[in-house]
Chain A
Amino acid sequence: MARAKSSKTTVVEKKLVGVADLVITAAEKSKDPTLAIPIRSLANVNFNEKRGIIELGKRKQARTFFNVGMAKKFMQTVLVADALSELQRANLTTSLREIYYRTKHTMKGSHENTFDNQNESDPLIEDLEVTLAALREELHVRAENAGSVVGPLVLDDDGDRVDCARLGKGGYSVPSIVEPEYIAIRRCTADFVLLVEKGTQWNRLSEDKFWRRYNCVLLTGNGQPPRGVRRLARRLHEEYKIPVYVLVDNDPWGYYIYSVVKQGSINLAFESERMAIPKAKFIGLSSADPDRYGLPRNVGIKLNDKDVSRAKELVKYRWFQKKGWQDEIKRMLSSGLKYELDALANKDFRYLTKTYLPRKLKEEDWLD
């Protein structure tokens, strides 16, 4: 639960009310109410090489009310702003889906719904985040608790002391909002953070108490890590100066997960500032590993058309231009195969814990 705020009207709430003001002012002047929304696409992101993060560009799109193509979206945006300000006033947090349900109704005198499905309302929340320069957490919208953490880490959550070393193999479920005012890190004695793509491998490592032996924090986001997981890794990295290693499947999607952790995502480029970990390292699975660790060819999976085209896109991204990465991706393309982390079980159930990771760490065999 969110805690009580000191001031009556928050900054965010003021920003949201600004949407209404915009409409009112335009109407006064007989102008078409227009929202200027920064564009969230590859064309409007820049890779800041010096800082190592993806930054949002300056291009904006105008969303006007009196345009047949945009009218509905404009109306929906105002409705979402209204719902978000309601959250602020009541000091509640909610999910994307609840926002969708809250704003859905049939318009008066018609049989048209304000929203037909959640795909219509989700991007509008992101639009408002960028437009108002308010973080999703500040808007009180949370995602699912889709991540877990285990390791020598002590947190303070809503006044409860959580020792992540004493939570068995299930660990602590990382909430979607881990800002200091919600979660405080009391202590962290780990030497590094290992962020694992898949829950199954995280379970393996947790069960084998890998974190105890190598003194690390084990994190997973079950696929593309949600904000909470990314933010927690970033905080540990920043506040305790420990390195972050990323362990993903050897496929284009794994590469992209790594790049999102490291440089930030294209869609949420405006949040790279607080999310990205430019010094994060890619520990595996590398396209060189099948050779190096003797994984047989028959545990590979043929790249499908989608994989190939995605890989070809990645090769062109400015943040994948380092030689090591170009080699990595091209090696995968030329082999025509991808490998899952799970494939390591072909050698031994505990191959990941006993052999693979120890050797990687010892040889410092990672990509930057």
Chain B
Amino acid sequence: MIWNEARECMSRDELNTLQSARLKKVVNRVYHNVEPYRKRMQEAGLELGDITNIEDITKLPFTTKDDLRDNYPFGLFAVPLSEIVRIHASSGTTGKATVVGYTRKDIDVWAECVARCCAMAGLGRNDIIQVAYGYGLFTGGLGGHYGAEHLGATVVPMSTGNTQKLIDMMVDFGATGLMCTPSYLMHIAEVIEEKGLKDKIKLKATLNGAEPWTENMRKQIEERLGIEAHDIYGLSEIMGPGVATDCHYHSGLHIFEDHFFPEIVDPKTLEPVPDGETGELVITTLTKEGIPLIRYRTKDLTSITHEKCECGRTTARISRFTGRSDDMLIIRGVNVFPSQIETALLTVDGITPNYQIIVDRVNHQDTLAILVEVEERFFSDEIKELETLQKKIEHAVHQTIGLHAKIKLVEPKTIERSMGKAVRVIDKRKLV
């Protein structure tokens, strides 16, 4: 089912007109209300009159996560706080969170987009949808929740952490939809199989995002549970989940172009790349009021097609993500920058030890281990001292990134070095 046919199926010409009008409006808004944007446009010698249609977007400067950090917490907001009704936050590169704010209208647009995603997955008002993303600062829980409510479905706010209860309710309520991370879905599928409950569930479709997964994994999960699984993309800077999702044909994720203008650029030259070629996804929020972002570099690598889909939608489709153009890791749905772990290690005794981050996926669940070389200054002849050190590090890491890591003490000079430089991150997950 198509939730908003007028928007999702409009002709490219109509869309172009709409995008042009909306771009003019949003540029006008940031120029007048967001000082860093005005300054940057002035520095680039740009005047408001230079932006008349959507093709002019390439004249505008890019925005990065660093801009959000430099203007922490509310410096890029385009409205006074009295207009902001919600705050969300995600990891920043150096410990400071990336903060975003939503006006009431932003929340409505978000719900509309997520409702489109749910409809794309074949869900509607007669469905019971469990939302098993974390509720809180993370956009997954509340984003999924409002969207599924807007759809008119019966929403069960499960959040994360209690798989048994989730499955019990899935069986007892006859839940037909589920929103969660792909790795959590894998875990849920395993428990369902273990308990022999596959015949007792009524699950039809799932929407899974917030971390990378493969087409293979998607098909595997569909077979195991007898459902249809959809990839939902989003990032808190732009909105949260619901920026794009894949329809029944699973040939790319439809991006809601009436709200988000996508560009694919070469991450090195920042020049646009043609359709079908891989580059970095850059998004401009065309309707955002709280924190509109112009040409935001997502650092997610993908390609795009503007061809009409078999489902009837005319919106551009982005392919599955092939990686990142920066060093951000997504572990159990949480954005983690190696620099954050380095900062955490630094707090333990003031000097960063030689360390290595190892990310793996065991039984479809992400694991995080940090190897720390035992140096003289925290070496001891007593096991309990070393164990205390491990706990201190684990605590510091948990405080910083919100994930539990296994801390492994290793002998000096054992961490792999490549050309004399220590290899800081090893990601063993095979996702591409």
Tell me whether A and B are bound partners.
no
Measured CB to CB, the residues of B under 8 A from A are none
A interface with B by C-beta (< 8 Å): none
